[in-house]
Structure 1
Amino acid sequence: MRTFGVEEEFLIVDPDSGNPLPLAGDVLRLHDPAHQAVNHLVPLQMLAAELHQEQIEVITHPHGSLSGLAAEIRAGRDHADSLARKAGARIAALATSPMPATPHATRNDRYDALMEKHALTAREQLTCGYHVHVSVGSDEEGVAVLDRIRAWLPPLIALSSNSPFWNGTDSGYASFRTQAWNRWSTAGPTDVFGSARAYHSLVERLSDTGVVTSPDFDARLSIRHPTVEVRVADVCLDARDAALIAALVRALVETAAGEWEAGQSPDMVPAAILRQGAWRASRWGMDGELLHPVTHRPDTARNVLAALHEHVLDALDDSGDAPYVSESLLRIFNRGTGANRQRQAFERNGSLADVVADATRVSHHEPADHVPFGELALERDAEITSRRCDLATVSD
């Protein structure tokens, strides 16, 4: 079983006003890596600074099971929030700030250089993403995976969409984080590489331009770990959605590796077309047409997600993740994404502060219609987790 782990970026917010607070340094100083997790079942999460002081990153350990990863996702959110509370703040799983914000840069050599070089792009980049790492056996296998998952990544943007507000206004997008993130010079989809040698050659040539030292591709070989790193998703408002995205990414990697081993050629669709698919997913999320990963033409979100589900179903069955993924996809179809939830919170009384307050609650507690995490979350439900989930017939 391939191991996988995630990196979640969160906003540090004022619990009353909803404004982002530059308290990452305080939160990190309160973090004691030598302290054991309270329940002794989940190892203590790793916390890290991000580009701005209004953000904190929580990094899980590698896991073989979805239940173990899901438990650590929950524990990591709660741990970071407990530290933020001590500093007079809260942690919210928001991919952009609903409230207007003037970010405060984290001061170190790396981030100082980014700020100097990239100017307003860096100064405004108060965005929180969600990165999934999946183990690969070699760089050659990893690049073969990158070449074969490209067209399947935009649906993950739609499923995770959680950033409708930007600088105090509704952006009109489900994932405006995707738009802001794509300001970076190497952000977005890539063309087919064909080999690890070609991949590393391009990375080296990009570095030689003097603009970037590490490319911000939608998916790439990790710099520090023997993994493929998929970077397209918003941080998910609901931790259950985070577990879903991780399960789908692992299944995509496993499926792609199998195609490579079987000698199946990758889809040679140009990156420029894939960028249109990412734009559609960013604009409408699950509420509009997406670009179909096979035909590369607009199709309903239901048909696109049904195609994704079918594409990875064998891998999901092999890992035991199929029941959880089926239930989670149905839940999102019926109840919406984080972007939908944020807009619903705003519509109640027109308060962006209430949007942040609601998001903070959802980030750390199960909604009323919750499915417990851990092993219970992975149990089969005969009504909604049949092996082949007919997503096209689900009612709104």
Structure 2
Amino acid sequence: MRTVGVEEELLVVDLDGRPVALGPDALAVAAGRGEGEDVVEHDRADRAAEGRPGSADRGGGARLVPELMAQQVELGTRVCGSLDEVAAELRHWRDRAAAAATATGARVAALATSPVAVRARPTPGERYARMLATFGPIATDQLTCGCHVHVAVADDEEGVAVLNRIRVWLPVLTALTANSPFWQGEDTGYASYRSRAWSRWPTAGPLAVVPDAAAYHRLVDALLATGTVIDRGMLYFDARLSATWPTVEVRTADVALRVEDAVVLAGLVRGLVETAAREAAAGTPPPDAPGELLRLASWRAGRSGLTGDLVHPVTGRPAPAADVLAALVEHVRPALADAGDERLVTRGVGVLLHRGTGADLQRRVFRETGDPAAVVRAAVAVTAGQPGDVARAAVAPSR
């Protein structure tokens, strides 16, 4: 069975729902180092970007680390063998991040963008300063939170074969996790506006089919040689080979509001990787889908989420989101069954279709309250695993 790990980015917010630049302070608390050593946590941001252990390391890759903006923290799970382990790890690290933020007078919310208008504040550090200076508003406006899933591969050859075969399905994962309808206090009309904001980076988007690992590495070297991106950490393909771990990393998802939805995502990604590896071993060629079509499919997924049509990865035609999700589950069902994930993932997809995504919950709270801050307070409650408190939390801050 392939191992899996998950990275999530969380917003750090005050009691009124505004993002606040207390991420580094929260990390100092989590690391047990005290507020006087914040600069250590800032410096570790550069190391975390290269895949090295960060602050509050738990071993096995698990960690809390800084992100580009000081209104964020990032968590990473251990390497997990089962989806139950993934769920336990995500709850552990969300709880730890929440406790650290609470010690600074803040909270954490699994929101992919801020419903409240905000000016992003960068985390100190040489690498982040270079990014801000090089990319201007693309970087300075980038207060967005994603979820990245790592799945083990045997080697780079298998990894490239997997990348070639999963690329057509990745927009579906954006729709599945859509959790960012708001931008600067306004409803954008998108279910995942984070995916659109993220697409402005020069290396973001679908990766072309490449014949083998050598060609993949030549492509990476050619991109780095342009001097445009700062390092390998800025190769923001929808999916890529990890520069540090023997994994394929899928990067198209919003951070999920609920842990159970993130677990479903992890199960589907592991199923996609295993299915693709089996296809490659059997000599099945990768789907012949041009990058232009995949970029359009990604836009459609970000716009509609699960409430409208998506571009079907097999036919290239519009189809209801429920039909496309059903096709995804059927595509990976043998791999899900072999990993023991079939029941959990199938049930989780059904729940998502019935209950809706994080974007749907955000909009529902906003319709009921008319208050973007109430949306954040509700998200804080859900992030903490207290969905029963959503209505109460949306009404007034919890002091």
Map of 1:18 onto structure 2: 17
1:319-346 Cα distance to aligned partner (Å, 9 max, x none):
1011111111111111100000000000
Map of 1:61 onto structure 2: 78
2-structure distance, mates of 1:270, 1:293: 12
2-structure distance, mates of 1:142, 1:266: 13
State whether residues 163 and 174 of structure 1, in contact with CA within 8 Å, keep that contact through their aligned partners in structure 2: yes
> Would you say 1:181 and 2:198 are equivalent positions?
yes
Give the Å deviation of 1:366.
Answer: 4.6
> Would you say 1:107 and 2:106 are equivalent positions?
no
Matches within 5 A, 1:324-339: 324-339=344-359
1-structure distance, mates of 2:184, 2:120: 11
State whether residues 42 and 71 of structure 1, in contact with CA within 8 Å, keep that contact through their aligned partners in structure 2: no
1-structure distance, mates of 2:277, 2:350: 27
Percent of aligned pairs with the same amino acid? 51
2-structure distance, mates of 1:350, 1:44: 41
Structure 2 counterpart of 1:261, from 281, 286, 289: 281
Map of 1:31 onto structure 2: 30
Map of 1:349 onto structure 2: 369
Task: Report the secondary structure of 1:286's partner residue.
Answer: coil
2-structure distance, mates of 1:44, 1:253: 20
Matches within 5 A, 1:122-271: 122-212=139-229, 213-214=231-232, 215-271=235-291
1-structure distance, mates of 2:376, 2:129: 29
Structure 1 counterpart of 2:326, from 295, 306, 318: 306
> Would you say 1:51 and 2:50 are equivalent positions?
no
RMSD after superposition: 1.6
Task: Report the secondary structure of 2:136's partner residue.
Answer: helix
| Equivalent residue letter for 1:245 | L
1-structure distance, mates of 2:117, 2:386: 28
Task: Report the secondary structure of 1:10's partner residue.
Answer: strand
1-structure distance, mates of 2:214, 2:60: 37
State whether residues 130 and 232 of structure 1, in contact with CA within 8 Å, keep that contact through their aligned partners in structure 2: yes
Task: Report the secondary structure of 2:139's partner residue.
Answer: helix
| Equivalent residue letter for 1:29 | A
1-structure distance, mates of 2:312, 2:240: 22
Give the Å deviation of 1:42.
Answer: 11
1-structure distance, mates of 2:86, 2:241: 21
| Equivalent residue letter for 1:206 | L
1:36-87 Cα distance to aligned partner (Å, 9 max, x none):
xxxxx99995100000100000011101111011111111111100110000
Give the Å deviation of 1:367.
Answer: 3.1
More off after superposition, 240-249 vs 100-109: 100-109
2-structure distance, mates of 1:45, 1:88: 25
2-structure distance, mates of 1:150, 1:33: 41
1:225-261 Cα distance to aligned partner (Å, 9 max, x none):
1100000000000110000000000000000000000
State whether residues 61 and 76 of structure 2, in contact with CA within 8 Å, keep that contact through their aligned partners in structure 1: no
Aligned residue pairs total: 362
1:148-188 Cα distance to aligned partner (Å, 9 max, x none):
00011111000100000000100110000000000000101
2-structure distance, mates of 1:144, 1:335: 35
Structure 2 counterpart of 1:77, from 84, 94, 107: 94
Give the Å deviation of 1:32.
Answer: 2.8
1:299-335 Cα distance to aligned partner (Å, 9 max, x none):
1111101100000000000010111111111111111
Q: Which structure 2 segments of 5+ residues have no match?
A: 34-57, 390-399
2-structure distance, mates of 1:360, 1:44: 26
| Equivalent residue letter for 2:284 | Q
1:255-294 Cα distance to aligned partner (Å, 9 max, x none):
0000000011001211110011100000010011001010
1-structure distance, mates of 2:116, 2:9: 17
Give the Å deviation of 1:28.
Answer: 1.0
Task: Report the secondary structure of 1:153's partner residue.
Answer: helix
Map of 1:372 onto structure 2: none
| 4+ residue segments displaced more than 2 Å | 41-45, 366-369
Change (3 A) 1:133 1:152: same
Give the Å deviation of 1:368.
Answer: 4.8
2-structure distance, mates of 1:155, 1:183: 20
Map of 1:120 onto structure 2: 137
Task: Report the secondary structure of 2:89's partner residue.
Answer: helix
> Would you say 1:275 and 2:275 are equivalent positions?
no
| Equivalent residue letter for 1:322 | E
1-structure distance, mates of 2:182, 2:73: 20
Task: Report the secondary structure of 1:223's partner residue.
Answer: coil
Map of 1:95 onto structure 2: 112
Change (3 A) 1:351 1:293: same
2-structure distance, mates of 1:149, 1:43: 26
| Equivalent residue letter for 1:19 | R
